[in-house]
Amino acid sequence: MPVPLSILDLATAARDQTPADALEGTVALARKAEEAGYRRVWYAEHHNMASIASSATSVLIAHVAAHTSTIRLGAGGVMLPNHSPLVIAEQYGTLETLHPGRIDLGLGRAPGTDQNTMRALRRSGASADSFPEDVMELQGYLQGRSRIPGVDAYPGKGTDVPLFILGSSLFGAGLAAALGLPYAFASHFSPGALHEAIALYRREFQPSGQLETPHVIAGFNVIAADDRADAERQQHEMMRSRVALLLRPGTEYTDEQADELLAAPQAQHLHQMATYSAVGTADVVRDQVAEFAEATGADELIIAHQGPRVEQRLRSAELLAEAYMR
């Protein structure tokens, strides 16, 4: 039986689309995911990125949850050092109270942005040092066992919103194992330590009240289209957009300039980010997804449909579901 598929939605907007277009697309994609049989949809916290509209994850989840009925929704993830654990417990406790049994909370320790924006978030370089303690503080609020006497989360106390540790290194794998939490590896953009991290997590996993056995989620990029040429065009457009987003944020490039930069040595890491990707027709993508699942032994795959436009991501999600899950 194939492993379950979920979706990571960055709520991205193409060059000629607005944040409103992107947010409207998140609702459409979640509805498509619910209809097609995906397990969950997650939204990632990023800041100061003009083409990504998922910065306020809890607000976005509330909106999408109000327009869907059964699919699980969550953060993939909240960058916890940017926030107070109490405030996150209150936000996600509120979501769980409004939408019982449908809310996930994935936690990461990266800033989700650049150094200047870190300062605007009132975050210091040392903020990540307390990540394990912050996770346990947050967990205490949600379980109704606060680690700070006299302080509880309302709403939040006793909601037991399930936590997930996100990461792309051995640190996150070790923390998830020690706390007995599911581990989601960001192989869709940081593939280097994937197999080593999964092995460490499974080897060191300690059962907990939330989870008795290890649960690995691995990220994978997909662009599925009705013909190969279209899928490859979408991939090329997506790579061009990453030049402006990741190499030199805030700079406008012509297509020709972006192509020149993509061919340059400094863009090598952009190509490495796409190591775990499938681009093509439904049958090609289905086979590559299945191969990735087998190679990693993951219990679940979270798919980043990377088409530049909302309608392309909707079609990609539909094609993969029809080919892989039915």
Q: Give the DSSP per-residue string, 6-68.
A: EEEE--B--TT--HHHHHHHHHHHHHHHHHHT-SEEEE----S-TTB--SSHHHHHHHHHHT-
Range picked from 107-111, 209-213, 249-253, 260-264 for highest mean pLDDT: 209-213
How would you class 96 by CB atoms within 10 Å of its CB: exposed for 0-12, middle for 13-18, buried for 19 or more? buried
10 pLDDT exceeds 80?
Answer: yes
Domain contains 110 = yes
Mean pLDDT of 72-76: 97
Gap between the Cα atoms of 292 and 192, Å rounded: 15
Gap between the Cα atoms of 6 and 303, Å rounded: 6
Global pTM? 0.94
Each residue's pLDDT tens digit, 153-211: 999 999 999 999 999 999 999 999 999 999 999 999 898 899 999 999 999 999 999 99
Whether the Cβ atoms of residue 198 and residue 298 lie closer than 8 Å to each other: yes
119 pLDDT exceeds 90?
Answer: no
Domain contains 238 = no
226 pLDDT exceeds 70?
Answer: yes
Whether the Cβ atoms of residue 66 and residue 73 lie closer than 8 Å to each other: no
Each residue's pLDDT tens digit, 258-315: 888 888 887 888 888 889 999 999 999 999 999 999 999 999 999 999 999 999 999 9
Q: Give the DSSP per-residue string, 98-119.
A: HSTT-EEEEEE-S-SS-HHHHH
113 pLDDT exceeds 80?
Answer: no
pLDDT of residue 264: 84
Domain contains 66 = yes
64 pLDDT exceeds 70?
Answer: yes
Domain contains 102 = yes
Share of the chain above pLDDT 90, in %: 74
125 pLDDT exceeds 70?
Answer: no
Share of the chain above pLDDT 70, in %: 95
- CATH number for the domain harbouring residue 173: 3.20.20.30
Confidence of residue 326 (pLDDT cuts 50, 70, 90): confident
User: What are the Cα distances from residue 217, in Å, to 6, 32, 235, 301?
Assistant: 9, 21, 24, 5
Domain contains 264 = no
Beta-strand pair 40-43/300-305: unpaired
pLDDT of residue 261: 82
Residue 212 lies in domain: 5-228+275-324
Lowest mean pLDDT among 117-126, 214-223, 236-245: 117-126
Structural domains in the chain (count): 1
157 sits in the region (left: phi over 0; alpha: psi -120 to 50; else beta) called: beta
User: What are the Cα distances from residue 141, in Å, to 134, 160, 164, 166, 175?
Assistant: 11, 9, 15, 20, 19
252 pLDDT exceeds 90?
Answer: no
Whether the Cβ atoms of residue 217 and residue 182 lie closer than 8 Å to each other: yes
Domain contains 129 = yes
Confidence of residue 248 (pLDDT cuts 50, 70, 90): low
* Chain position carrying tokens 């012509």: 254
Confidence of residue 233 (pLDDT cuts 50, 70, 90): very high
Domain contains 244 = no
Give φ, ψ of 229 to 5 degrees: -60, -40
Domain contains 233 = no
Confidence of residue 114 (pLDDT cuts 50, 70, 90): low
